[in-house]
Amino acid sequence: MHLDADTLAMVRNALQLVRLTIVAGFVVAGLRVMRSPPDVRRKRINQLLAYVLAVHVSIAIAQNDAWPFTMYPMMAVDSTNVSSLHNGLSFRVVDDAGEEWPVDPLAWSPLYPQSIMGWFEVSYPNATVAQRNDVLRFLLARAELARRHGVRGEHFYGNAALLGPLAAPDTNLYNAVTASGHPLRALRVYRVFWIPSEFATKRTLRDRRLVCEYRE
């Protein structure tokens, strides 16, 4: 069934009102917990938890986000699928000495590696040469800035200069990388292939193919 433009606009507006109602209900339930006397607080906490669970179930069925609740479809993967070939993107930088290094995962903060990967998966194939070069130039410049901070022993979190530890970067659990002592001159994007069961024991990839390279 195809809907005309006016009907689609009406549906979108109705969905926005539904989302607003969901958020308002969440706020109200939270305020009731905060202001409740001790003898009824546990009951209202249970009501808040039941509300949150009901909203998540509804969103999962409807397959539609309603901030701050989301269905997180990007995380819907089969964790038991450990014997088939997987693939993803990997970023590397090359310094003046010609040595290749991994990119500090915090170098592009407040952007995080998964968002950069998403751009390369979705937008890169359709971007012009000029647009691709603009993005790669920006990423290389940020990687070089992070490298300079790393050499001086400083933390580079992007927003940390203003927020300090409250910046709470998404990549706080990533392993730290060693910074090159030489300026960075190139950025390489690879598509890597691995089998989880093999990678867990041998730490080896099945294949690595160059997607693009930007060099100053």
pLDDT tens digits for range 135-166: 999 999 999 998 998 888 776 655 666 676 66
Taking a C-beta distance cutoff of 8 angstroms, is the pair 48, 66 a contact? no
pLDDT number for residue 86 = 85
Q: What is the pTM of this model?
A: 0.62
pLDDT number for residue 44 = 93
Could you give the angle at which helices 38-62 and 5-35 cross, rounded to 10 degrees?
A: 160
Per the structure block, which two tokens stand in for 91? 């970023």
Give 191's pLDDT tier (boundaries 50, 70, 90).
Answer: very high
pLDDT tens digits for range 86-103: 889 999 999 999 999 998
pLDDT number for residue 72 = 67
Residue the block writes with tokens 């179930």: 57
For the chain, give the mean pLDDT.
84
* Cα(26)–Cα(204) distance, integer angstroms: 46
pLDDT number for residue 144 = 94
* Cα(106)–Cα(173) distance, integer angstroms: 11
Helices and strands: H and E segment counts in the chain:
6, 4
* Residue 49 in this model has a pLDDT that exceeds 60: yes
Residues 6+ apart with CB under 8 A from 155: 106, 149
Residues 6+ apart with CB under 8 A from 117: 88, 89
**Of 13-17, 39-43, 137-141, which has the strongest mean pLDDT?**
137-141
* Cα(139)–Cα(103) distance, integer angstroms: 10
Taking a C-beta distance cutoff of 8 angstroms, is the pair 119, 206 a contact? no
Rg (CA), the chain: 23
pLDDT number for residue 135 = 96
- Higher per-residue pLDDT: 9 or 130: 130
Give 76's pLDDT tier (boundaries 50, 70, 90).
Answer: low
Residues 6+ apart with CB under 8 A from 215: 94, 185, 186
pLDDT tens digits for range 103-117: 888 888 778 788 899
The residue extents of the domains of the chain are 5-74, 86-215
Q: Edge-to-edge strands of the sheet including 100-102?
A: 100-102, 86-95, 184-194, 207-215
* Cα(25)–Cα(28) distance, integer angstroms: 5
